[in-house]
Amino acid sequence: MMADIAGRRAARSLGNASLLLIALCTACKGNAPAARHLPFLDRYHSSPAATNLVQLQRDDGQWVMPAKNYESTRFSSLNQINAGNVKTLKVAWTFSTGNDRGEEAAPIVVNNTMYVVTPFPNILYALDLTQPGAPAKWSYKPKDMNNAAKGVACCDWVNRGCVYANGRIFFNTLDGKTCAVDAQTGKEVWVSQVADINRGESITMAPLVVKNKVLVGDSGGEFGVRGSLTALDTETGTQVWKAFSTGPDNECLIGPSFHPHYDSDKGHDLGVKTWPPDGWKIGGGTTWGWISYDPALDLIYYGTGNPGPWNSEQRPGDNKWTCGVFARKPDTGEAVWFYQWSAHDLYDHDGVNELVLLDLPVNGQVRKTLLHPDRNGYVYMLDRTTGEVISANPFTYITTSTGVDLKTGRLKAVAEKAVGFGRVTRMICPPAPGAKDYEPSAYSPLTKLLYIPHANLCEDAEGVQANYIAGTPYVGANVKMYAGPGGNRGVFDAWDPLTGKAVWSIKENFPVWSGTVVTAGNVVFYGTMDGWFKAVDATNGTLLWQFKCGSGIIGQPVTYLGPDGKQYVSILAGVGGWAGAIVSGHLDPHDGTGALGFVNAMTDLPQATTKGGMLYTFGLP
């Protein structure tokens, strides 16, 4: 246990007030105390009868998409469980997924039913919350799952969750399908093949439904996949549009509406010209992360993955539109702006992490911003109407760059940390998985802090070793990861986006690979890879409660109101993923270069936890 609080700060003036106001959700079916009206929380209220997704995502009695809402705040105004009573939290019920791979999904809750999707073979379970112990009502198993997907998936066989809309549950399968299932009956409505496993494409991300379109991104950057985002019709599953991340403007859906902020993103066919000829065809830029939506601006936001191939000498140029963020119109897919976190990425720093949409006072003026903690180690604040970088501040130890030039928007790279074939480069921080991988952060409008689960790792790339794929021998760099400064491999930060600094941080022994949720009860929940599910005080990070789950946690917590009107918190335990593959994939601890060098940093994880997927739901006694 390494949970010491670094840099406590005085409770914000809001602290006491918030404890009073927290009692305020109109959606609460229980006997919630009368609430003072606070306009800034209006957006979180809604009628329980709401069926429109824009309303539903604001209903805090339910949890209809992994990010909770379109802004991706993962904040709930529920407050029955709060900093004062969370210490009495008890297990209410559990459910085994029968799967022993990494469980990264967020369970979702709609109409007194919880929906859980497992890692490959991606079985969808519906659990009846009205019955004692929440037994399964039905399960849906996608047909004809292609086993080759297990060989194709880069980083364990994970799935990041399902989403509800229009009486249906939508989710993706590792072998490249999107499934629509009737939320009541579990009957298949349609199945659409989006990614082609035969070309190395797989899907691990949770889709997002916006305006009757299911938005689906792909995985497979390591196979030379050409990344894209696809919009499917929610009724039929047919493709409405597809926007590639590389290639000519017309295939990237870049047209007259495209107005990027920085000069380096302006020009014709940059998705071709910033590559050697034909390089864009196998250029990567997959879209396996998170999508957010601003209904007022009517724009979706999502990040693009790393460029390929790995040796950057073979792809001189900025390699548009990889390692960046697109704003697009959901109806047509037309791009409106783009910003590149890492031009010509050298480190596998995919730009697909979550994009939290917040209206924040910046220098006395409220701006429509987008917060994004990137793999490259910076928390970016962008103007989400234009793509302009307002600030970019390091949230981890960084040797690969010295900052972001706010005039040009470019990352200031450190030449001597460049990796290349046969070159020995030590202390590459952050390493390939980045300062932060998929695990999404949460934002509380009460504390005005962004809670960031992340890693503290560095790597050395030295020497070469023989390898082969598909019968083809080659030599690859010998990569070994290890803990960054301080020796702790994980950190849980409370980040003030306005000052660009952490106000407190909790050191964790293992990388923090779980998502997080923050509530109006002033409690933040997250899990650790050795299986502790924790509640900490949102204001100062004090550990308030913890429970040891059967396996390490890399999933995403959610909170909801049960049919009894009581608040519950759920989390999937089940170690795995890239960081946890040493347990779920039986990697050899003596082979430090396994899982692309991650094993070296995780050799003690098998002693700390064992695998096995289990859903835990907690409530007050």
**Which residues in this chain contact another protein in the complex, by CB under 8 A?**
148, 150-152, 154, 196-200, 220-225, 276-279, 281-282, 284, 306, 308-311, 313-314, 316, 348, 419, 421-422, 432, 461, 463-477, 479, 585-588, 591, 594, 596-597
Nearest-approach distance from CB 316 to another protein, in angstroms = 6
**Catalytic residue check, 156:** no
224/500 with CB nearer another protein? 224
DSSP E strand boundaries for 83-159? 90-96, 108-110, 113-117, 124-128, 136-140
- Do the beta carbons of residue 473 and residue 462 sit within 8 Å? no
39/473 with CB nearer another protein? 473
144/278 with CB nearer another protein? 278
452/596 with CB nearer another protein? 596
| Cα three-residue angle 340-343-346, rounded to 5 degrees | 130
Q: Token pair of 246, please?
A: 């590389």
Rg (CA), the chain: 22
- Which one of the listed residues 345, 348, 374, 459 is annotated catalytic? 348
d(CA 533, CA 527): 4
199/548 with CB nearer another protein? 199
477/535 with CB nearer another protein? 477
Nearest-approach distance from CB 225 to another protein, in angstroms = 7
60/459 with CB nearer another protein? 459
Q: Which amino acid is at 165?
A: A
Q: Token pair of 501, please?
A: 């600094």
242/273 with CB nearer another protein? 273
CA atoms within 13 A on the CB side of 619: 16
Nearest-approach distance from CB 269 to another protein, in angstroms = 16
- Which one of the listed residues 103, 104, 175, 222 is annotated catalytic? 222
| Cα three-residue angle 51-55-59, rounded to 5 degrees | 95
DSSP 507-529: EESS---S-EEEETTSEEEEE-T
Among the listed residues 507, 510, 508, the one whose alpha carbon sits nearest the alpha carbon of residue 481: 510
d(CA 451, CA 535): 12
**Catalytic residue check, 363:** no
d(CA 423, CA 471): 26
Q: How far is CA 213 from CA 56, 242, 620, in A?
A: 16, 12, 38
Nearest-approach distance from CB 176 to another protein, in angstroms = 12
d(CA 239, CA 190): 12
Alpha helices in 136-206 (DSSP H): 148-152
- Do the beta carbons of residue 185 and residue 169 sit within 8 Å? no
| Three-state DSSP class for residue 426 | strand
Alpha helices in 139-204 (DSSP H): 148-152
Nearest-approach distance from CB 437 to another protein, in angstroms = 14
Nearest-approach distance from CB 375 to another protein, in angstroms = 13
The sign of the dihedral angle between the CA atoms of 175, 177, 180, 186 is: negative
What residue has token string 């790339």? 461
222/251 with CB nearer another protein? 222
Nearest-approach distance from CB 188 to another protein, in angstroms = 24
- Do the beta carbons of residue 353 and residue 365 sit within 8 Å? no
Nearest-approach distance from CB 288 to another protein, in angstroms = 13
**Catalytic residue check, 175:** no
Q: What is the largest CA-CA distance in the chain?
A: 69
Among the listed residues 433, 449, 484, the one whose alpha carbon sits nearest the alpha carbon of residue 379: 449
- Which one of the listed residues 306, 353, 488, 600 is annotated catalytic? 306
Nearest-approach distance from CB 102 to another protein, in angstroms = 14
- Do the beta carbons of residue 283 and residue 319 sit within 8 Å? yes
Among the listed residues 214, 101, 202, 235, the one whose alpha carbon sits nearest the alpha carbon of residue 162: 214
59/218 with CB nearer another protein? 218
Burial of 416 (0-12, 13-18, 19+ CB in 10 A): exposed
Nearest-approach distance from CB 302 to another protein, in angstroms = 19
d(CA 582, CA 605): 7
Task: Show which residues are catalytic.
Answer: 222, 306, 348
